[in-house]
Amino acid sequence: FTPERLDQWLETYPIEDLGLPNHTGSPIPDDPTDSIISTPIPAEVGPSIVAREIGNLTTPEERDLPENFGERSIELANEDGVQRPREGRAGARYEAATGTTLARPAPPDPAYDFVDTSNGDKIEVKGPVPAVDGVVPEARLDGLIEATVDEANFQTGADRIVVDAEGLSSMQVERLHRELENRISSGIPVDILR
């Protein structure tokens, strides 16, 4: 085709004749007819992770834990006769931060750890990560991040993931938050429990 031949087949229509509102796009710059509209392509939306921090239970003077916290941790740690103390502690901290009540699924389900009795949400907990001499090593933080990303991107059993960041420094929590936002591609909500 030659340019002349293309002009023979090119048709332009005024916006009004197309029945389109004139706010659906913007005229093409330097268009002599000013009747062709270009529709902007929407920006690509990033992952739909909800990484929110709930509660501030990091320092003793700011903790608002119920008196029966220790008992509740032990109660939630029991999964069909098997003791899972870190899960129990994370579950009890989640209850204290949100005011909800958790229960172990019956029968036990390997896809999630707890059920929120207020709404039926299936909750998977990650952490807390054990510290060494009061500090969480970066290798353990790496493992927590990897486990959370894998859970969020590849699992289908939980409705929500709760990451217990107890013992992590402020910088480690920032890194955790950033890594999860950048690497999780599913829409599952992820709560970071401080």
Cα separation, 99 vs 128, whole angstroms: 19
Report the chain (194 residues): mean pLDDT per 10 consecutive residues.
Answer: 58 57 51 48 43 48 65 86 87 87 92 95 90 88 96 89 89 92 89 85
The pLDDT of residue 27 is: 52
The pLDDT of residue 120 is: 95
According to DSSP, the β-strands at 160-164 and 122-126 are parallel
The pLDDT of residue 31 is: 54
The pLDDT of residue 24 is: 47
pTM of the shown model: 0.67
Cα separation, 103 vs 117, whole angstroms: 7
Q: Quote the tokens at residue 27.
A: 């005229």
Cα–chain-centroid distance for residue 32? 49
- Within the chain, strands assigned E span 26-27, 37-38, 50-54, 78-79, 82-83, 102-103, 114-116, 122-126, 160-164, 189-193
